[in-house]
Amino acid sequence: MSAAGSYDSLNVDFRRAPKQPESPAPDPSDDPSTTVAAAGVDAPEPAGADGVDLSSLSIAGITRRRVGWACAALIAAWIVVIFARQASEGAAAANRADQVAHDNAALAAEVASLEHELQVIERPAYIAQQARGYGLGTDKEIPFTLDPAVPSPGPDAPGSASTRVGADEQRVTPLESWLSLLFGPAD
pTM above 0.75, yes or no: no
Closest listed residue to residue 181, CA positions, set 99, 173, 138: 173
Residue 91 has pLDDT above 90, yes or no: yes
Q: Look at residue 185 and give its three-state secondary structure.
A: coil
Residue 44 has pLDDT above 80, yes or no: no
Mean pLDDT of 100-110: 96
Task: Output the average pLDDT for the chain.
Answer: 76
Q: Look at residue 101 and give its three-state secondary structure.
A: helix
Residue 43 has pLDDT above 60, yes or no: no
Q: Look at residue 157 and give its three-state secondary structure.
A: coil
DSSP per-residue string spanning 32-54? HHHHHHHTT-PPPPPPSTT---G
**Range in 41-50, 89-98, 133-142 with the lowest mean pLDDT:** 41-50
Q: CA distances (Å), 81 to each of 86, 93, 94, 146, 154, in order?
A: 9, 18, 20, 75, 73
